[in-house]
Amino acid sequence: RRALQVKFVPDEEVLQHIADDTGIKARKDKAQLSFNAKTFVKKLENISDNKAEEILEEKKYIAALGICAQDPMENGSSVSGGEIYSFQTPKRSSKMAELASELAQTPEQNVASDHSKCPEKTAKPSQSSSNFMWTEIVWKCNLILLFAWQRAVQRRHMFLLLMHVFSSPLQSKKKEFVSTTPYRLRKRLAAPDSHLESESEYSASCSEEEDEEDQQEVYTVLSGQKTPAKTKAAPTPPPRNSLAKKNKEEKMSNLVEEYFEAHSSSKVHTSDRTLQKLRKRRLNQETLHGLLKKAPLAYAAEIKELNQQHESMFSKWMLHLHLGFNIVLYGLGSKRDLLEKFRTSLLQDSVHLVVNGYFPSITVRSILNSITEEVLDHTGTFRSPLDQLEFITKRFKEDSSLELYVLIHSLDSQMLRGERSQQILAQLSSLPSIYLIASIDHINAPLMWDQAKLNLYNWLWYETTTFSPYVEETSYENSLLVQQSGSLALSSLTHVLHSLTPNARGIFRLLAQYQLEKKDNPSYPGLSFQDFYQQCREAFLVNSDLTLRAQLTEFRDHKLIRTKRGADGVEYLLIPVDVSTLTDFLENEDEDV
C-alpha cells in the first residue's frame, strides 16, 4: 500500500534550505518541508504547499470566527464544530440506562461522558464489597471492552458477556450488590435465571420495507433466539498503530469508517419492551396539559432574567426593521411569548399580521389571503400565489404610506418549509414597507435558504434562547408518539363501521376479537383468509368466499384492514390499529349493541 514518491528538488530549493544566512525562515517553508517528508513516507494525497497554506488559512479563519466575548447573550461559541457534528461509536443498546443510573447515582457530582469507561464506572460504587472480586471483574471488563472494541462486536454480545461476568459474583455477594447496582442493571441481574427472557428482549428491526416490518421482525426474533450471540460479519478492525493515531487524516478516515460501519447493516438492536407492558394508561392531551401545569417550571427566575435581556433589545429590533433588515430569532426554547410581548408592547398602533407557522393547516396562500383581504381590503380571487404576490407588491409600491409588520412563529414548520413557500415569503419580505420578524427552531432550518433567498430575506440574526417550553408549538403535533390517544383512529373506526351493514360489522368484529386474543404473540402474522372464511361461515355472516372478498375489499378501501401474503403464499388479514384502541373499540361496540 505504501509507495515511495520521488520528487525532483532543484538546487535553488536545496540552497534555500541549507544556506542559513539567507535567513528566510518563513513559517510556510517549514510547513512545506514537513509535508514533503510525509509524502515520502506515506502515500497520502498529494499535499502540496498550497494545501498547507489552506490549512493555515483555515486555522486563521476559525480563530477569527472563534473570537468570543464572555457576554452571555452571545452564542456558546466555545464549542467547536467538531463537537457538534462529531461521530460516535455505534450500537449502544444499554448505554442510556447506564448513563441514567450514573446520573442518578451521583446526584451532586458530575458525570464525565467518556463512554468507553462507563461499564467500569457503574461497577465502581460497589467496590467496597469485595475488593479482590471487583478488581478481577474490572480487569475482565477491560479485557472484554478491548476485545469488543477490537472486533467491533455488537453491543448485545458484549452485554451478555458482561452479564456473565456480573452474575458470577452475584450469587455469592448478592446483598451488597443489590443495594448499590444501578437500577437498570439490578433489574436484569436480580433474576439470573431469566437469562433467556432478557435475551429475547432484544431483537432487531429492519430499516427498509416498512410495510413488511412485522414479518421481518418475526424472522429476526426467531433468528435472534436461535443464535443469541451471533456476531455480524466482523468489519475491519480499526488500525492499531497507536503512534500514528494522532494523525488527523487517519482519525478522519476512522470516523468515516465508523459511520459506514454503523449504517452498513439495516438492523438495529434495541430492546423489545413496549409502553403497553408498562401497564400505564396513556395520557391524552388534556390530562397532559393539566399535569404539566401542575409541575413547576424549573429555573423560572433564571428564565425570566433571560427573557428580560431579550426584551431590552426590542427597540433595536424596531430600528433594524425600519432600516430594511428583517429579523430572525433562533435558540432553544419557545420564542412565542417573546414575540407576543414584542407585539403588544411596540406594535399596538401599527398594522401587523401574526402567523402561527406551527398551525398544521397553515399555507402560504392563507398568509397571502389575509394580507390581500384584510390588510388591503381587496375582494377578489387570484389564479396563483404568484399573481397574488404581484398584486401585493404593486399595491405596496403604489402607496408608500402602507406598512405591515409580519410576525411568523416557526418559519421552519412543516407547512412553510417548502421551497415555493419560502420563495414567496422571501419575496414578500423583500418589500421595503413589509417588516418581517420570524423565529426558527429546527436544527436544520438554515438549510431552507439558498443565497438568493437569503439575499431577499436580508436577515439579521438574533439569538434568543429562552428555555421556555414549546407549549403551543407541540400541542398541534398529532404524531405525538408517546401519548397517542388513539381517539382519532377510534372515531374513524366507529364512523366507518356505522355506515356498514350489520353483517359487515360482524365480520370486522370477528377479526378484531381474534386479533385481540393473539395480542400476546409478537409474531402474530394475522388471520389467514381460509380460517377467517371458515369462522365467518360458522357465524352465518357470509355464504360464499366471494361475498367475504367483496366485504374485505371495502374494508381495505377504508384502510380498516391490511392484507399480506405470508411465506407460504397464504393471505393474512390484520387490523393496523394498536391493541388498546382495538379494545376500546370493542367495548364501545358492546355498549351500542
- A 10 A CB-CB count for 126 gives 20
Stretch that binds another protein, among 107-115, 145-153, 499-507, 512-520 (CB under 8 A): 107-115
Q: Which is nearer to another protein, 375 or 497 (CB)?
A: 375
- A 10 A CB-CB count for 509 gives 18
- Shortest distance, position 566 Cβ to another protein, whole Å: 20
Stretch that binds another protein, among 276-284, 498-506, 523-531, 559-567 (CB under 8 A): 276-284
| 8 Å CB contact between 519 and 274 | no
Q: Which is nearer to another protein, 423 or 515 (CB)?
A: 423
> By CB under 8 A, what part of segment 4-43 binds another protein?
10-12, 14-15, 18-19, 21-28
The reply to whether 45 sits near another protein by the rule CB under 8 A is no
> By CB under 8 A, what part of segment 220-239 binds another protein?
none
Work out which of 96, 191, 488, 539 binds another protein, going by CB under 8 A: 96
> By CB under 8 A, what part of segment 428-467 binds another protein?
440-446, 451-452, 454-456, 458, 460-463, 465, 467
The reply to whether 587 sits near another protein by the rule CB under 8 A is no
At 471, list the grid cell: 407549549
Rounded to whole angstroms, the Cα distance separating 332 from 298 reads 15
The reply to whether 269 sits near another protein by the rule CB under 8 A is yes
Give me the DSSP letters along 243-294. Answer: GGGG-HHHHHHHHHHHHHHHHHSSEEEEE---GGGGT-PPP-HHHHHHHHHH
The reply to whether 219 sits near another protein by the rule CB under 8 A is no
**Total residues contacting another protein (rule CB under 8 A)?**
162
Work out which of 273, 397, 495, 565 binds another protein, going by CB under 8 A: 273
| 8 Å CB contact between 433 and 460 | no
Q: Which is nearer to another protein, 410 or 551 (CB)?
A: 410
Site string for another protein, 518-547 (x = CB under 8 A): ------------------------------
- Shortest distance, position 550 Cβ to another protein, whole Å: 30
Site string for another protein, 311-350 (x = CB under 8 A): ----xx-xxx-xx-x----xxxx---------x---xxxx
Taking each helix axis as running N to C, give the angle between helix 155-172 and helix 131-151, from 0 to 180 degrees, rounded to the nearest 10.
Answer: 170
At 91, list the grid cell: 450500537
Give me the long-range contacts of 69-75 (CB less than 8 A, separation at least 24). Answer: 72/309, 73/309, 73/463, 74/463, 75/463
The reply to whether 210 sits near another protein by the rule CB under 8 A is yes
The reply to whether 254 sits near another protein by the rule CB under 8 A is no
Work out which of 3, 243, 295, 593 binds another protein, going by CB under 8 A: 295
Q: Which is nearer to another protein, 143 or 447 (CB)?
A: 447
- Shortest distance, position 409 Cβ to another protein, whole Å: 9
Closest by CA position to 511, among listed 542, 489, 488:
542
Stretch that binds another protein, among 112-120, 138-146, 165-173, 502-510 (CB under 8 A): 112-120
- A 10 A CB-CB count for 232 gives 14
Please, where are the H alpha helices in 86-233?
A: 95-105, 118-123, 131-151, 155-172, 174-180, 183-189, 195-200, 213-226
The reply to whether 213 sits near another protein by the rule CB under 8 A is yes
- Shortest distance, position 464 Cβ to another protein, whole Å: 9
Mode of pairing for the β-strands spanning 202-206 and 267-271:
antiparallel
- Shortest distance, position 155 Cβ to another protein, whole Å: 8
Name residues whose C-beta falls within 8 Å of residue 376's C-beta, 6 or more positions apart in sequence: 392, 395, 402
Chain centroid to CA 439: 20
Start-to-end CA distance of the chain, whole Å, equals 78
Rounded to whole angstroms, the Cα distance separating 552 from 548 reads 6
Rounded to whole angstroms, the Cα distance separating 164 from 188 reads 12
Q: Which is nearer to another protein, 380 or 502 (CB)?
A: 380
Place of cell 465502581: 124
Can you name the residues that pair with 463 across neighbouring β-strands?
330
Name residues whose C-beta falls within 8 Å of residue 560's C-beta, 6 or more positions apart in sequence: 493, 496, 497, 508, 575
Closest by CA position to 103, among listed 112, 116, 91, 94:
112
- Shortest distance, position 247 Cβ to another protein, whole Å: 20
The reply to whether 288 sits near another protein by the rule CB under 8 A is yes
The reply to whether 50 sits near another protein by the rule CB under 8 A is no
Stretch that binds another protein, among 141-149, 192-200, 300-308, 495-503 (CB under 8 A): 300-308
At 409, list the grid cell: 412563529
Rounded to whole angstroms, the Cα distance separating 268 from 207 reads 8
Stretch that binds another protein, among 99-107, 191-199, 225-233, 500-508 (CB under 8 A): 99-107
Work out which of 223, 264, 274, 583 binds another protein, going by CB under 8 A: 274
- Shortest distance, position 498 Cβ to another protein, whole Å: 28
At 329, list the grid cell: 430569532
Work out which of 55, 56, 160, 480 binds another protein, going by CB under 8 A: 480
Rounded to whole angstroms, the Cα distance separating 339 from 409 reads 8
Q: Which is nearer to another protein, 106 or 491 (CB)?
A: 106
| 8 Å CB contact between 509 and 541 | no
Work out which of 4, 65, 546, 567 binds another protein, going by CB under 8 A: 65
> By CB under 8 A, what part of segment 356-415 binds another protein?
356-357, 359, 361-362, 366-367, 369-371, 374-375, 403
Stretch that binds another protein, among 145-153, 163-171, 205-213, 551-559 (CB under 8 A): 205-213
Stretch that binds another protein, among 167-175, 303-311, 528-536, 556-564 (CB under 8 A): 303-311
Can you name the residues that pair with 435 across neighbouring β-strands?
405
> By CB under 8 A, what part of segment 143-182 binds another protein?
none
Stretch that binds another protein, among 37-45, 101-109, 498-506, 549-557 (CB under 8 A): 101-109
- Shortest distance, position 306 Cβ to another protein, whole Å: 6
Stretch that binds another protein, among 201-209, 222-230, 543-551, 567-575 (CB under 8 A): 201-209
Mode of pairing for the β-strands spanning 562-565 and 434-439:
unpaired
- Shortest distance, position 561 Cβ to another protein, whole Å: 17
